[in-house]
Amino acid sequence: MSVNSFGNILRLTTFGESHGFAIGGILDGFPSGILLDTDFIQNQLNKRRPGQSKITTSRNEPDKLRILSGVFEGKSTGTPIAFMVENSNQRSSDYHTIADSFRPSHADYTYSQKYGIRDYRGGGRSSARTTVSQVIGGSIAQHLLWPLNIRITAFTSAVGNIKLNKLPEELDFSLIEQNLVRCPDMEIAEEMTSFIEKIKDEGDTVGGIITCMIENVPAGWGEPVFEKLHARLGFAMLNINAVKGFEIGSGFDGIKLKGSQHNDLFFVENGKVFTKTNFSGGVQGGISNGQSIYFNVAFKPVATLLQNQKTINAALQEVSINPGGRHDPCVVPRAVPIVEAMSALVLADFFLLHNARKY
Amino acid sequence: MSVNSFGNILRLTTFGESHGFAIGGILDGFPSGILLDTDFIQNQLNKRRPGQSKITTSRNEPDKLRILSGVFEGKSTGTPIAFMVENSNQRSSDYHTIADSFRPSHADYTYSQKYGIRDYRGGGRSSARTTVSQVIGGSIAQHLLWPLNIRITAFTSAVGNIKLNKLPEELDFSLIEQNLVRCPDMEIAEEMTSFIEKIKDEGDTVGGIITCMIENVPAGWGEPVFEKLHARLGFAMLNINAVKGFEIGSGFDGIKLKGSQHNDLFFVENGKVFTKTNFSGGVQGGISNGQSIYFNVAFKPVATLLQNQKTINAALQEVSINPGGRHDPCVVPRAVPIVEAMSALVLADFFLLHNARKY
Amino acid sequence: MSVNSFGNILRLTTFGESHGFAIGGILDGFPSGILLDTDFIQNQLNKRRPGQSKITTSRNEPDKLRILSGVFEGKSTGTPIAFMVENSNQRSSDYHTIADSFRPSHADYTYSQKYGIRDYRGGGRSSARTTVSQVIGGSIAQHLLWPLNIRITAFTSAVGNIKLNKLPEELDFSLIEQNLVRCPDMEIAEEMTSFIEKIKDEGDTVGGIITCMIENVPAGWGEPVFEKLHARLGFAMLNINAVKGFEIGSGFDGIKLKGSQHNDLFFVENGKVFTKTNFSGGVQGGISNGQSIYFNVAFKPVATLLQNQKTINAALQEVSINPGGRHDPCVVPRAVPIVEAMSALVLADFFLLHNARKY
Amino acid sequence: MSVNSFGNILRLTTFGESHGFAIGGILDGFPSGILLDTDFIQNQLNKRRPGQSKITTSRNEPDKLRILSGVFEGKSTGTPIAFMVENSNQRSSDYHTIADSFRPSHADYTYSQKYGIRDYRGGGRSSARTTVSQVIGGSIAQHLLWPLNIRITAFTSAVGNIKLNKLPEELDFSLIEQNLVRCPDMEIAEEMTSFIEKIKDEGDTVGGIITCMIENVPAGWGEPVFEKLHARLGFAMLNINAVKGFEIGSGFDGIKLKGSQHNDLFFVENGKVFTKTNFSGGVQGGISNGQSIYFNVAFKPVATLLQNQKTINAALQEVSINPGGRHDPCVVPRAVPIVEAMSALVLADFFLLHNARKY
């Protein structure tokens, strides 16, 4: 049990806090001989990066990837790929006012209780900055899926009450990077952006949903009982900061359907198997069935407000705080590459496991 | 990576198929010297048992627990606790008609694709019968939590469109076992029961939601990045057959709130820390905060219908099937002890890990 | 961390004590579609079985393999293979006299200290009877190696001071099963047998060495730093009861050679790579080099004597005991199939891991 | 399965090659609130460091420890401790002559076969330079053992045919650091040093044995079947570069004794349990018995010679090489801190596991 690791045959172990010299990780089990597209990795990092637009925090971290090992002349060597991103533009001073207080719905209190010690400079290990390592690890993992033509696409499908109501086949993924919220519908995106700006002006925050589509996963990945493919995906998503829910396929809405409505009927076309509907979300009995995998991930509103809030301090006295730092009004747009990265880690791991048995 | 194991320090490994001599498992890492309450374990098994009421399948499996090792003179010895339940009342003949066909939204197709071989007698390892081992393992795990006064209570909170709309503090858990659906509200329970009966008469099925409350978990359990307490709980739940969604605390509804509404404000009473609301569901930053943990688990409608359905067979020809076996119209009432069991496995494991570091 | 499991992708978890209903295990991760040779497995069990000859214990346990799951119509299904062997012919009464005493160099004292509870009927989980599960698991694992033409052969190479001094190429493995000690030299075997008989008459015991040869392992198996092939083999062997030492290739004697003598020089014959000597024992830098793997395993003399011995009891008083049960004067002949089984578990696991990366 | 990780609750994952920016690792699971003695860690690194004396390689690597995370104001925070040591003084040019050849008894050939790619600059991941990370991780782990008064002491006990023949109670550990070979006997140390110098002058190398004593381990650590304490220690040692053998207690010599000679008789003194002899090496049935643990580790002669050697190249042609770099004539003196470090990782992990169950 490595509590800061994720995955089995392909395993990412991460380190680092919001403040400190660097954050990073080690990706172990990555096969040799694969040319790494570092532009792709850096680009995914840039999508997660703070300060990228008017609706994100104004902190400006360059987040420059540095690979420490496991790559020689551009190719993976089969040995652990270690990487780091130096922490810069840390304004610990932002946190002095709250060093002694437990911010509401933050991890300040729970970390104090767990560790008996607290790095008061910005949340330490609980900071969403730790997701930098996940984006890097997952973006490297993606390289294993490309030759199989597997395409992972995450996008914002809800912000507060504003929801994208489109069928998967109506989506135009090329629009995702055309707007600030990463929603594949320019009108809804505009609505979401305006709403986030309004919320930001109030010093408040709002939650949202990211939907992820994974195309071209072959049938047969996932394990029957305790490593169901969607359970691993759910586990991956629920480990992302601020996530409170996960549903695959019909999810929570599916409970309202009858079995006769919900069953995905098989049919054959050109010798290939398809289903007429896809309420299963591409996974049946924990194993991929060859249809598109899709799932929703719910992100709660960011806990850090630019408002006064009552709370308690370490001496259990009532205090009032106004964190006053530079934070996001809505975490969802920046979380899109994280959802993609964690999905890639899950799929690449199952791919290797699937290979293991194919002999 | 043991694909049929769950847990770290306390680890359950299970075996068995719906048809075959027996199903069972090994619970490893359970401390020594603990008196096992086998009546409790058998009672939890009985709640999961088919044939227990008019709204469940009429299959009648006694599911008698047999402990093979790890217990001496009633107490755990610290060595692996192996257990099994013999399979009986298997009517493989029920399945002859479907042996060659892929039932819609079942695992027949995906298992064929994965293993290239199929145990056509009732789903093999994909059968919900495998949850017998989970109930046993989890019920043993519960023994570790009792001395801490931790109470795990699951109940049916929705069937189809019928939903229990009560605040946690309004619930009377003593009612759960007073009705067939295991809902802590007799009126709603009656409504749900009637609905399930109607659905059953149609040869159809319906889904539902189980809510689980976990009281008295101390602050400080769970890990900061990749083993968040709620992520493990979600992973556990998503590994239960037919589960398509998991949400903790405010979950999917929470995205609509502003941060200023959603933040759980701390206060102190008699020297103890509480929060005014509990949208966090008892977990902040992946770590328990001492408030009650609660979450919802969405179960899809059972895929096996007593109706004709079109599907394909292994030769990829269109066929029509009517499985005609003895199946549940709604899996939710029988899944209540499974949700409790998987929760117990998660919590007991984090408890042991927490102890490990406390030195 | 499953403390009663061994292996990674292919993982054996065992259960059971010397006394109790049954011992057995679960082999998880075994690929589907493989026809199991149950005669081979039972035959390996028979080699381990007590009561097989005049130089082993007179306990007579039939040790009949029973497979509980994971096999359908003779073939593996890809799901966990659970198996058990019922305990029979247990004479707990043999142990009444020692129930309260700590037998010297046994695990009685350490188990009491660890668990605070003791199954006094014959050693409980510390009994060598637990190796039954290892033989079964490993013999199933062997099936993965046969198509690769990998041959694992263990044999007795020393008993007390009597040592087999032959080069590997001089060994005739067909002789191993022609004598009671399982030594591939009939003369030395006779000497060893006589010596063991003499020791048995004295009510004493003696140790020995098992050598294992593994032929036809392809180059490239094993991991560079923490999962070196020979480290895993050593770990496997040191987990067998009574083993106190492991050496691969030149081992402890190799330290006396100069590098210029010890280096194995490469040469090419018919386009294939060989080494002139094989002091490396087939592993270089933790990875197989295609040459034969061979290693030695040292077994201490059995601790149970048919003599009076002074010791202490649980009340820390001096007592004198004479266990008087039915025990082996030398454990080595019966341990030969255990060494083969544990080797097979290691190699099959590395084979699957090797496959995983080959894409 | 993380193939570059070691340990369970306390787990070290390492990265890095001999050539490249840095080597290092992540130690996960280390409890919070522990003041790190960085001088101790650096000092252990210095003992491993090349260029420390006339009998080691003349490469001069400062090996300066840099901690990247997990430590705040000198104390562990409970989060992953990441560390690195920059590679400097790498003379890749040393390797140009051998870039295309497989050095005998090196990992050049096996790595090529495994990865299909080779970092020809000094062995890459197979370089003993990777043990830097082990020394750091293990030296941090030691901090958990100090409060228990556990003392780990490794020393050189043999170089070639020169052997230290003293009983443990005759050893004066304060002498270990008084001589270049790290042997607790000044006369034998002098002999060993002269011998290594002579071997060095010949451009040759020699092997040796390191003995490790671990005092004050409480009774009850280790697991009964697959995680025996000595099996984990053996696994740890066999994963160190150049190690070919491991024996605990009486080891390979113990096979020659009768059980009546070999059994360690218990006695009680001042209410505490002791054994008259300690052939068990402090471990019985896989579990510590409270007596001193001691074991031997055999290191083969270093494969890199300053002599011409015949070998083959990647095109399978015969070539002659003379690596000509800066290498050790005997690796044993510098391996002493590595043996201590790996021992500490094993013991600290079992300590945490032991705590987990103590409730």
Q: What is the ipTM of this complex?
A: 0.96
Q: What is the pLDDT of residues C243-298, one digit of tens each?
A: 999 999 999 999 999 999 999 999 999 999 999 999 999 999 999 999 999 999 99
Residues of D in contact with A1 (CB under 8 A): 8-9, 11, 29
Q: Which residues of C fall below an 8 Å CB-CB distance to A?
A: 1, 9, 29, 31-32, 78-79, 144, 224, 351-353, 355-359
**b (16+ CB within 10 A) / e for D335-344:** bbbbbbbbbb
For A324, counting Cβ atoms within 10 Å of its Cβ (0-12 exposed, 13-18 middle, 19+ buried), the class is middle
Mean of pLDDT values over C49-77: 86
Interface contact C9-A359, CB threshold 8 A: no
User: In this complex, which of B1, B9, B79 lies closest to D356 when CB atoms are compared?
Assistant: B9
Alpha carbon of residue B285 to chain centroid: 24
Q: What is the pLDDT of residues A270-314, one digit of tens each?
A: 999 999 999 999 999 999 999 999 999 999 999 988 888 899 998
Q: Which helix (H) or strand (E) holds B12?
A: strand B11-15
Mean of pLDDT values over C150-172: 94
Radius of gyration of chain A (CA): 21
The three-point CA angle A67-D113-D323 to 5° equals 80
User: In this complex, which of B79, B224, B356 lies closest to D356 when CB atoms are compared?
Assistant: B356
Compute the nearest-CA separation of C3 from chain B (Å). Answer: 7
Which chains border C (3 or more CB–CB pairs < 8 Å)?
Answer: A, B, D
Tokens read off for B206: 């319906």
Q: Where are the alpha helices (DSSP H) in C239-292?
A: 259-262
**Which CA distances in Å does A129 have to A22, A61, C78?**
10, 10, 41
Size of interface B-C (CB pairs under 8 A): 152
User: In this complex, which of D352, D358, D359 lies closest to B357 when CB atoms are compared?
Assistant: D352
Strands, E, within chain D: which ranges? 5-6, 11-15, 22-28, 66-67, 71-72, 75-76, 81-86, 101-102, 151-159, 162-163, 208-215, 243-248, 266-269, 272-275, 283-284, 287-288, 293-299, 309-313, 318-321
User: In this complex, which of A2, A15, A20 lies closest to D11 when CB atoms are compared?
Assistant: A2
Q: Please give the pLDDT value at position A346.
A: 98
Pairing of strands D318-321, D309-313: antiparallel
Residue D97 has pLDDT above 70, yes or no: no
Q: Please give the pLDDT value at position C274.
A: 95
Q: What is the pLDDT of residues C10-41, one digit of tens each?
A: 999 999 998 888 999 999 999 999 999 999 99
Q: Average per-residue pLDDT in chain D?
A: 92
B100 Cβ contact partners less than 8 Å away, ≥ 6 residues apart: B120, B313, B314, B315
Residue D154 has pLDDT above 70, yes or no: yes
Tokens read off for B102: 């892929």
The DSSP line for C99-140 is: TTEE-TTSSHHHHHHHHS---TTT-GGGSGGGHHHHHHHHHH
Residues of D in contact with B29 (CB under 8 A): 357
Q: Average per-residue pLDDT in chain B?
A: 92
CA atoms lying within 13 Å on the CB side of residue A348:
31
Compute the nearest-CA separation of C285 from chain A (Å). Answer: 14
Q: Where are the alpha helices (DSSP H) in chain C?
A: 38-48, 108-115, 131-145, 186-201, 229-238, 259-262, 332-357
User: In this complex, which of D1, D351, D355 lies closest to B358 when CB atoms are compared?
Assistant: D355
User: In this complex, which of C224, C352, C359 lies closest to A31 when CB atoms are compared?
Assistant: C359
- A243-247, D98-102, D185-189: least confidently modelled range: D98-102
Q: Which has the closest alpha carbon to D187: D163, D161, D169, D153?
A: D163
φ, ψ of residue B113 in degrees (nearest 5): -65, -35
Residues of D in contact with C288 (CB under 8 A): 110
- A117-126, B191-200, C229-238: least confidently modelled range: A117-126
Alpha carbon of residue B54 to chain centroid: 21
Q: What is the pLDDT of residues B288-326, one digit of tens each?
A: 999 999 999 999 999 988 888 899 998 899 999 887 666
- Residues D71, D81: Cα–Cα separation, whole Å: 7
Q: Where are the alpha helices (DSSP H) in chain A?
A: 38-48, 108-115, 131-145, 186-201, 229-238, 259-262, 332-357
Residues of A in contact with B248 (CB under 8 A): 238, 244-245
Q: Please give the pLDDT value at position C18.
A: 85
Residue C200 has pLDDT above 70, yes or no: yes
**Which CA distances in Å does A71 have to A63, D106, D273, D345?**
20, 21, 54, 28
Q: What is the pLDDT of residues D277-300, one digit of tens each?
A: 999 999 999 999 999 999 999 999
Size of interface A-B (CB pairs under 8 A): 363
Residue A57 has pLDDT above 80, yes or no: no
User: In this complex, which of D1, D21, D24 lies closest to A9 when CB atoms are compared?
Assistant: D1
Residues of B in contact with D221 (CB under 8 A): none
Q: Which has the closest alpha carbon to B140: B351, B348, B359?
A: B348
Q: Which of A246, A272, A274, A310 should one mutate to test binding to chain B, selecting the residue with the greatest count of B CBs within 10 A?
A: A246
Alpha carbon of residue B329 to chain centroid: 17
Residues of A in contact with C351 (CB under 8 A): 359
Interface contact A250-B244, CB threshold 8 A: yes
Compute the nearest-CA separation of C188 from chain D (Å). Answer: 16
Cβ atoms of residues D145 and D31 within 8 Å: no
Cβ atoms of residues A224 and B133 within 8 Å: no
Q: Which has the closest alpha carbon to D234: C234, C285, C283?
A: C234
User: In this complex, which of D235, D263, D305 lies closest to C260 when CB atoms are compared?
Assistant: D305
D93 Cβ contact partners less than 8 Å away, ≥ 6 residues apart: none
Residue of C nearest to B73 (CA): C119
Q: Please give the pLDDT value at position B228.
A: 97
Residue C153 has pLDDT above 90, yes or no: yes
pLDDT band at A92 (very low <50, low <70, confident <90, very high): low
Mean of pLDDT values over A197-210: 95
Mean of pLDDT values over A161-181: 93
- Residues C12, C28: Cα–Cα separation, whole Å: 6
Q: Which of B18, B235, B332 should one mutate to test binding to chain A, selecting the residue with the greatest count of A CBs within 10 A?
A: B235
Cβ atoms of residues A136 and A68 within 8 Å: no
Per DSSP, D62 falls in state: -
CATH superfamily, with its number, for domain B5-356? Chorismate synthase AroC (3.60.150.10)
Q: What SS3 class is residue A131?
A: helix
- Residues A223, A235: Cα–Cα separation, whole Å: 14
Q: Which has the closest alpha carbon to B247: B288, B181, B311, B293?
A: B293
Alpha carbon of residue A72 to chain centroid: 29
- A90-94, B268-272, B334-338: least confidently modelled range: A90-94
Tokens read off for C309: 């011995």
Residue C3 has pLDDT above 80, yes or no: yes
Residue of A nearest to B355 (CA): A114
- A273-287, B188-202, D84-98: least confidently modelled range: D84-98
Long-range contacts of B42-46 (CB under 8 A, 24+ apart): B44/B135, B44/B136, B44/B138, B44/B139, B44/B337, B44/B340, B44/B341, B45/B85, B45/B132, B45/B135, B45/B136, B45/B139, B45/B337
Handedness of CA C284, C287, C291, C295 (dihedral sign): positive
- Residues B237, B345: Cα–Cα separation, whole Å: 11
Q: Which helix (H) or strand (E) holds B295?
A: strand B293-299
Which chains border D (3 or more CB–CB pairs < 8 Å)?
Answer: A, B, C
Q: Which of A13, A34, A129 should one mutate to test binding to chain D, selecting the residue with the greatest count of D CBs within 10 A?
A: A13
Q: Average per-residue pLDDT in chain A?
A: 92
Tokens read off for D43: 């000092």
**Which CA distances in Å does A220 have to A10, A285, A294, A351, B1?**
18, 10, 16, 10, 18
